[in-house]
Amino acid sequence: MPRSKKAVCLLSGGIDSTTALAVAKHDGFELYALTFRYGQRHVFEVESARRIVSQFQAKKHLILDIDLRPIGGSALTSKIPVPKDRGAEEITSVVPVTYVPARNTIFLSYALAWAEALNAEAIFIGVTAIDYSGYPDCRPEYIAAFEKMANLATRATTEGGLTIHINTPLINLTKARIIKKGIELGIDYSLTHSCYDPDEKGRACGRCDSCFLRKKGFEEAGVVDPTIYIKLKRKT
Amino acid sequence: MPRSKKAVCLLSGGIDSTTALAVAKHDGFELYALTFRYGQRHVFEVESARRIVSQFQAKKHLILDIDLRPIGGSALTSKIPVPKDRGAEEITSVVPVTYVPARNTIFLSYALAWAEALNAEAIFIGVTAIDYSGYPDCRPEYIAAFEKMANLATRATTEGGLTIHINTPLINLTKARIIKKGIELGIDYSLTHSCYDPDEKGRACGRCDSCFLRKKGFEEAGVVDPTIYIKLKRKT
């Protein structure tokens, strides 16, 4: 029997990170899910992450409190309004105010620390550089540079014979292909949460960049969108 | 008048980070000091950092709470005993249990986030690869890899024309040369704290690796050591 391989999986509770975790499961890894409360506007993401961890029987789920609000510079961690009703071209042409400075670098750094402590050879992150918001820390050249740095950074990788691989199974997939892959892997996407600006019951606004990309993904995949959206008042 | 240059300075409150901050001040940077409460055994480091920030008139001091204890794997964030009475050879021959997994990577990631939010071109970190504990994340090749990754990671460095430089002014200096440099720059080292295992009044144990390197540094620099050590009971 082969030894169990361990993977630290960054899990926000959205479509992409959930699908990346399902890929890690399918590839035979023992799952160590890592979720952050970083001062984002709402906690529905974290609740989604808990449900997904339960469904996929992760070995452990670490939820870390790391308040990024004092650093500033983002609509997701401050009172800057979240942009609404932007089209595909606008979303991908300029990095939006929902960008959080160095967020993936901070998340991957914690993942690296945990991977070292666990002696885990794999980190999974659900970045995609296709249907995305143009965030620089989702691109392949960034991930490659992080991986190189990571293997120079730790005792386990410099003295202990461990090589850590940053796995990005979605990086070249459209949102529609991600959703199709996830459904093959048994994901119930009604458990996931994407909206940047939900109401108090967790219903999605349907108008932010994240909702836009999510809706477009389900449409293009030909899959019924299970998201519960806020019902907009009709003009009379 | 030249525009003010901003530097994010990682400041633990020990000799090295304090000296790196003094170098940044001397080089004309406006100082943004960044200190972490990461679950270390005591808070004397943070108190030292506050005094140093005050002496060097930093523009801002951010103290972030980031609990690394759930990640595990270190004597500094757990109840594993801190090693005592080791000699120079033993200290530098193997990475000790006081190593914290990926700590500098996590600290530098936050520094990167703040540098982006401030539009700061410099990050200062007081790593040294000479009189040190063999931590892999203190070596020049690691710092170079982090800097490369950092410039691929952020909006400011990919779209905004910012280039971030990780400054390591002490990396090739012995502890004695660091201390001499610091005294030239006006540092009062009695404000700093190095000991991993102080008593309840903050007095240094005099026996951990960090105390060993500190004492050796003052001796070799020919400078009176201002540290207050716990008085050891004489054998009768």
Dump pLDDT digits (tens) for A36-78: 998 877 789 999 999 999 999 999 999 999 988 899 888 777 7
Q: Please judge whether B113 and A70 are an interchain contact, meaning their C-beta atoms are less than 8 angstroms apart.
A: no
Average pLDDT over residues A67-95: 81
A229 assigned to some structural domain: no
Q: Would the pLDDT of A2 be above 70?
A: no
Q: Please judge whether B71 and A105 are an interchain contact, meaning their C-beta atoms are less than 8 angstroms apart.
A: no
Q: Please judge whether A66 and B66 are an interchain contact, meaning their C-beta atoms are less than 8 angstroms apart.
A: yes
A37 assigned to some structural domain: yes
User: Among residues of chain A, what percentage have pLDDT more than 70?
Assistant: 95
Closest residue in A to B32 (Cα–Cα)? A71
Q: Would the pLDDT of A162 be above 60?
A: yes
Give B188's strand partners: none
Nearest CA-CA partner of B53 in B67, B33, B69 = B33
CB contact at 8 A, A126 and A18 = yes
Average pLDDT over residues A155-165: 93
pTM metric for this prediction: 0.93
> How distant is the Cα of A211 from the closest Cα of chain B, in angstroms?
22
Q: What pLDDT, in 10s, does the model give residues B105-116?
A: 999 999 999 999
Q: Find the CATH number of the domain harbouring A125.
A: 3.40.50.620
- Interface size, chain A vs chain B, as Cβ–Cβ contacts under 8 Å: 144
Q: Would the pLDDT of B135 be above 90?
A: no
A235 assigned to some structural domain: no
B93 assigned to some structural domain: yes
Q: Using pLDDT thresholds of 50, 70 and 90, give the confidence band for residue B234.
A: low
CA atoms of A139 and A123, how far apart (whole Å): 16
CB contact at 8 A, B52 and B191 = yes
Q: Would the pLDDT of A86 be above 60?
A: yes
Q: Would the pLDDT of B200 be above 60?
A: yes
> How distant is the Cα of B72 from the closest Cα of chain A, in angstroms?
6
To probe the interface with B, which of A92, A94, A106, A151 has the most B CB atoms within 10 Å?
A: A106
Closest residue in A to B117 (Cα–Cα)? A73
Nearest CA-CA partner of A46 in A149, A192, A181 = A192
Amino acid at A148: K
A49 assigned to some structural domain: yes
B211 assigned to some structural domain: yes
Mean pLDDT of chain B: 91
Q: Which of B73, B103, B114 sits opposite A71 (nearest CB)?
A: B114
> How distant is the Cα of B118 from the closest Cα of chain A, in angstroms?
9
- pLDDT of the residue at B130: 86
Q: What pLDDT, in 10s, does the model give residues A103-117?
A: 999 999 999 999 999
Query: What is residue A94's three-state secondary structure?
Result: coil
Task: Work out how many domains chain B is built from and give that number.
Answer: 1
Q: Using pLDDT thresholds of 50, 70 and 90, give the confidence band for residue B1.
A: very low
Query: What is residue A15's three-state secondary structure?
Result: helix
CA atoms of B148 and B140, how far apart (whole Å): 12
The residue segments making up the domain with residue B97 are 5-221
Average pLDDT over residues A193-222: 93
Q: Would the pLDDT of B137 be above 80?
A: yes
ipTM: 0.91
Lowest mean pLDDT among A27-31, A154-158, B5-9, B90-94: B90-94
Q: Using pLDDT thresholds of 50, 70 and 90, give the confidence band for residue A97.
A: confident
Q: Which of B70, B95, B155 sits opposite A64 (nearest CB)?
A: B70
Q: What pLDDT, in 10s, does the model give residues B22-44?
A: 999 999 999 999 999 988 777 89
- pLDDT of the residue at A206: 94
CB contact at 8 A, B146 and B111 = no
Interface contact A35, partner B, CB < 8 A: no
- pLDDT of the residue at A1: 40
Q: Which of A102, A108, A148 sits opposite B145 (nearest CB)?
A: A148
Q: Please judge whether B159 and A136 are an interchain contact, meaning their C-beta atoms are less than 8 angstroms apart.
A: yes
Q: Which of A68, A73, A116 sits opposite B102 (nearest CB)?
A: A116
Interface contact B102, partner A, CB < 8 A: yes
Looking at chain B, which runs of residues are DSSP E strands?
5-10, 29-37, 60-65, 122-124, 165-167
A23 assigned to some structural domain: yes
Touching A: B residues 153-192, CB under 8 Å:
153-159
A230 assigned to some structural domain: no
Average pLDDT over residues A22-28: 97
**What's the token pair of residue A136?**
């620089």
> How distant is the Cα of A95 from the closest Cα of chain B, in angstroms?
7
Interface contact A152, partner B, CB < 8 A: yes
Interface contact A65, partner B, CB < 8 A: yes
Dihedral in degrees, nearest 10, Cα atoms B8, B9, B11, B17: 170
Q: Would the pLDDT of B99 be above 90?
A: no
Average pLDDT over residues B152-165: 94
CA atoms of B220 and B225, how far apart (whole Å): 11
Which positions in chain B touch A157 (Cβ < 8 Å)? 136
User: Among residues of chain B, what percentage have pLDDT more than 90?
Assistant: 72
Closest residue in B to A102 (Cα–Cα)? B113
Interface contact A68, partner B, CB < 8 A: yes
Which positions in chain A touch B117 (Cβ < 8 Å)? 71-73, 101
CA atoms of B135 and A155, how far apart (whole Å): 7
